[in-house]
Amino acid sequence: MDGAIMQRVQVWKDGKYDDAAKQEIARLERENPVELADAFYRNLEFGTGGLRGIMGIGTNRINKYTVGMATQGFANYLIQTYPGGIIRVAIAHDSRNNSRQFAEITANVMAANGIKVFLFEALRPTPELSFAIRHLGCQGGVVCTASHNPKEYNGYKAYWNDGGQLVPPHDKNVIKEVEKIDSVDEVKWSGGEANITIVGKEVDAAYIDMVKSLSVYPEVITRQRDLKIVYTPIHGTGITMVPEVLQRFGFANVHVVEEQSKPDGNFPTVVYPNPEESEAMSIGLKKAKELDADILLGTDPDADRVGIAIKDKQGNWMLMNGNQTAVLAFNYIIEARKAKGIAQKNDFVVKTIVTTDMIDRIAADNNVKCYNVLTGFKWIAELIKEKEASENYIVGGEESYGLMIGNKLRDKDAVSAVALLCEMAAYEKDKGRSLYEKLIDLYVQYGYYKEHLISITKKGMNGQREIADMMDGYRNNPPVTINGSPVVHLLDYELRKGKNLQTGSEWDITLPISNVLQFILADGSKISARPSGTEPKIKFYFSVNTTIKSAAEFDSIQVHGELDKRIQGIISDMGLK
């Protein structure tokens, strides 16, 4: 075993670590030295979003020691930033194994540093933590979750005083403070228990009231209260809020998927507890078919992502992708506010640069500003903070199944999204239609946009280098054509430059630096290349579109085939197969 790894292992064997950790080290030394090396070969990176990793002993794992050290670094930065004042922090957790323990450790360390802590009494959705930070006047927050990752994972997301995840300069500054913590001996593990307040029902009530206030057509729900809804929390925190919120909205015919209703960090019925995966929605889909439901909805373990399924005109169920759900939600909020007379001249919406441009068209057609930000809801939150004095945020979202409706919190919120998506279904049903038919009408009006995503992993020690070389090639020698269509614009978010490849003209991109490239083709296609910052993985997002004259034309195989062929042609021409 490498000497540096052995040294890290020895620190744990000799240091103030519990007997269980030392016994596990001894077992791995005997039985699985490869796993032991992986557990100690590096320090688990505290990135701009916090920690995420496999649970277990070691410096490269999520455990009470890595959580405690990260919390000490975060606490140190809070104390530096708010000297002499009372600092408040809210803490929540999801249904994963050990999440409660990690949340309590986080609370104890914060409290031992003299920080006033509001710790949720039990598991709660991540969006409620974002809301609580603002509601309780906190300077920061933490939620222990690994979102939709497999059961072996857990994590730690850090938030700032606006209820959004850390953004510059705070993200890098917190990272620096966390990296300064070299030993568990530097962590204040206990001694401030009096600073901890357990919260629950009062925050729940305020959060539910906030979500209820987002309803635009309560009178429609009254007429369609029997809308048949099937909901699955996929063993996560959604069960604590979603059924009650739907009941408060006025829906009286809600069916929870029993097999997935109990919070369980082992996620026994799924491989990945992610509503983006058809496998995770399959049990709910079966129940929806049995009941002939109107809509199926599923949320991930920390209830910040939502997936839905609806029926087409033949009654066949289809799982919507995140772009389709976002199109329906954005359009509904914009249209409903206009129809109700509550739209404001300074309303604006936000989406990420890899989310469908169909939303830009809908916003423009309704004279609503649409801003594009980098991938991640922290950038949506940051833009709201920048604009809130002069403009009115109404909805934001991204293609990866995230929506944030209204400005009372600063992270994606599947709880309010479920309620509003059900209201949308009720609104269409009240007119004798379906959400599917509404989506097709929007395609006729704005163009049929189709998106596709592929993720490529380059294995081995050279994986990161191969991906870096790939990006350098695109950046320095951009293709002149892709799939027969001229490349008109190259957008380089790392250099923060846009360039018209046909005229040579350039312009500045004002977004923060990010290693993303986008190619805009003459035929309206868009390709985005986005490497992971921590894994040897790169994602390619493809968006193509065409015009259709009628709903009947949408039903033709030819239209779908044309766009599928275009996407596959782009993939083939770029050598991504």
Residues 6 or more apart in contact with residue 540 via CB below 8 angstroms: 453, 454, 455, 456, 527, 528, 529, 530, 571, 574, 576
Which of the following is catalytic: 95, 147, 485, 514? 147
What average pLDDT does range 427-452 have in this prediction?
Answer: 97
Higher-confidence residue of 556 and 359: namely 359
Lowest mean pLDDT among 187-191, 458-462, 505-509: 458-462
Is the distance from CB of 130 to CB of 120 less than 8 angstroms? Answer: no
* 225-272 confidence digits (pLDDT tens): 999 999 999 999 999 999 999 999 999 999 999 999 999 999 999 999
Exposure pattern of 70-85 as b/e (b: 16+ CB <10 Å)? bbbbbbbbbbebeeee
Residue 63 pLDDT > 90? yes
Is the distance from CB of 216 to CB of 421 less than 8 angstroms? Answer: no
* 217-231 confidence digits (pLDDT tens): 999 999 999 999 999
Is the distance from CB of 466 to CB of 536 less than 8 angstroms? Answer: yes
Task: For residue 57, give Cα distances in angstroms to 14, 36, 39, 97, 152.
Answer: 14, 9, 7, 14, 13
| Residue 534's pLDDT band (cuts 50, 70, 90) | low
Q: Is 130 an active-site residue?
A: no
Residue 460 pLDDT > 80? no
**What DSSP line would sit under 335-381, residue for residue?**
HHHHHHT---TTEEEEEETTS-THHHHHHHHTT-EEEEE-SSHHHHH
| Residue 461's pLDDT band (cuts 50, 70, 90) | low
Q: Domains for the chain: give ranges and CATH numbers.
A: 42-204 (3.40.120.10), 226-318 (3.40.120.10), 321-412 (3.40.120.10), 448-574 (3.30.310)
Peptide bond into 169 cis (omega under 30): yes
Q: pTM of the prediction?
A: 0.95
